[in-house]
Amino acid sequence: MREVVIVDGIRTPIARAHKEKGWFRTIKSPDMLAALLNAIFERNPKVKPTDIDGFYIGCANQTMSQHGIARLTWLGCGLPNEIPAVAVEMQCASAMAAIHSVCNAIIAGMGDIYLVGGVEDMLHIPMGANIEFWPQIGKHYNPFELPMGMTAEKVAAKWNLTREEMDKFAYLSHMKACKAWSEGKFKNEVIPIEVTYEDGSKKVIDKDQGPRADTTLETMAQLKPAFLPPDKSRGVTAGNSSPLNQGAALLLVMERSKADKLGLSYHLRYKAGAIAGVDPTMMGIGPIPASQKAMKMAGLTANDIDVVEINEAFASQSIVCLKELGFPWEKANIWGGAIAIGHPLGCSGARITVTLNSIMKTDRKDAKYGLATLCVGFGQGAATIWERV
């Protein structure tokens, strides 16, 4: 059977989606993706643009500057117009769905070399932009229970989580991310981006904006609940939730024998991928059935998984998913997660895969299996298992 391997994985720094303080406030999704396209070909000179069988990009809100994001960015970079480009939408799992698509395409023999990733600009295209919900949904679900923050509160209530647990999880995310940055862990995966600001000044952004070394549990405890009144909230706050962000990530994946023929190195191969559906009013538990399906497909159990990258949309759902899947906190997000690093929606499935690839190449060279998983808005989950070769 044909096998799929990761030859390279890169990403931009992740910036806050803030119109005044955001480090990427003057650039948009095509700019971020273009920087990664240029970098991926520079880093892999044996691979030419004409060798690519497809450019697949996940993006949650495909409107405005993200309309036609894959094809228009490819063409805007002056790359060969005979190479197809596909934009994939599955909310927060958009990039992971794109990864599954290209892996399955390679296995099926539809192509040998693909560029796949994700991008999201939550500043210029805020959540909910140009969206109209079908009223019929209200006949089956309470519309007020569908927003992400409300689902996080519901998960926290059902599993009887405390505010202290959620704040501790968030605090550790920041501490792990800051430690990883201070030790240069992200250096090989993060591509610096030069940004020109409103006053004409320029700055090279080479690190994530979100991780805060100065945060404390005491500081977090002072934050008010973000989605419900204090007397009704389980303690979901801005501090233990992921922020709004801008960012992009990109992977070069190919059929294993093709990589060997080109003399390219790799250390992970695609083992299994799965998606699953859950109650949309508790969307954060999606990684549980998705990961269980992926592990079953791979013939593995939780004990076999050595490294876990779970997207931290909220501390509440991350804690519950890790608990129900049987993963200790120490095994997950060892370089920090989305609460600290950021969660640019459609980018995140690729971002956690890029970081998983980096971790298993450096910090966890003895790890055999790695799992990347994330929850998906409106009640879904996605998971991918990678195996060391």
Summarised one tens digit per residue, pLDDT across range 258-303 is 999 999 999 999 999 999 999 999 999 999 999 999 999 999 999 9
Tell whether 69 is covered by a domain.
yes
Tell whether 201 is covered by a domain.
no
- 128, pLDDT greater than 80: no
Tell whether 148 is covered by a domain.
no
Q: Given the structure tokens 């996080």, which residue do they identify?
A: 152
Tell whether 179 is covered by a domain.
no
Catalogue the long-range contacts made by 38-42 (C-beta closer than 8 Å, 24 or more residues apart).
Answer: 38/77, 39/10, 39/191, 40/8, 40/10, 40/115, 40/250, 40/252
Q: Give residue 35's pLDDT.
A: 99
Q: Is the dihedral of CA 201, 9, 105, 60 positive or negative?
A: negative
Counting every residue written for the chain, the total comes to: 389
d(CA 29, CA 35): 10
Q: What are phi and psi of 198, to 5 degrees?
A: -55, -35
**pTM score:** 0.98
Q: Give residue 10's pLDDT.
A: 99
Structure confidence by residue, pLDDT tens digits, 346-384: 999 999 999 999 999 999 999 999 999 999 999 999 999
Tell whether 156 is covered by a domain.
no
Identify the active-site residue in 59, 92, 321, 347. Answer: 92
Does the active-site annotation cover 174?
Answer: no
Give the mean pLDDT of the chain: 98
Structure confidence by residue, pLDDT tens digits, 161-209: 999 999 999 999 999 999 999 999 999 999 999 999 999 999 999 999 9
Tell whether 40 is covered by a domain.
yes
Decide: helix, strand or coil at residue 300: coil
Q: Give residue 372's pLDDT.
A: 99
Tell whether 367 is covered by a domain.
yes
Q: Give residue 185's pLDDT.
A: 98
Displacement of CA 369 from its chain's centroid (Å): 19
**Number of domains observed in the structure of the chain:** 1
Does the active-site annotation cover 77?
Answer: no
Tell whether 57 is covered by a domain.
yes
Q: Enumerate the H helices of 60-216 as residue ranges.
A: 69-76, 94-108, 148-158, 163-182
The closest alpha carbon to 351, from 329, 327, 333, belongs to 333
What would the mean pLDDT of 245-262 be, rounded to a whole number? 99
Q: Give residue 373's pLDDT.
A: 99
Q: Give residue 70's pLDDT.
A: 99
| Residue 131 binned pLDDT confidence (cut-offs 50, 70, 90) | confident
Q: Given the structure tokens 């939408």, which residue do they identify?
A: 89
| Residue 14 binned pLDDT confidence (cut-offs 50, 70, 90) | very high
Structure confidence by residue, pLDDT tens digits, 47-105: 999 999 999 999 999 999 999 999 999 999 999 999 999 999 999 999 999 999 999 99
| Whether 282 contacts 288, CB under 8 Å | no
Identify the active-site residue in 59, 178, 321, 375. Answer: 375
Q: Is the dihedral of CA 55, 56, 62, 66 positive or negative?
A: negative
CATH of the domain at 327: 3.40.47.10
Identify the active-site residue in 100, 174, 343, 347. Answer: 343
Domain that holds residue 115: 4-124+243-388
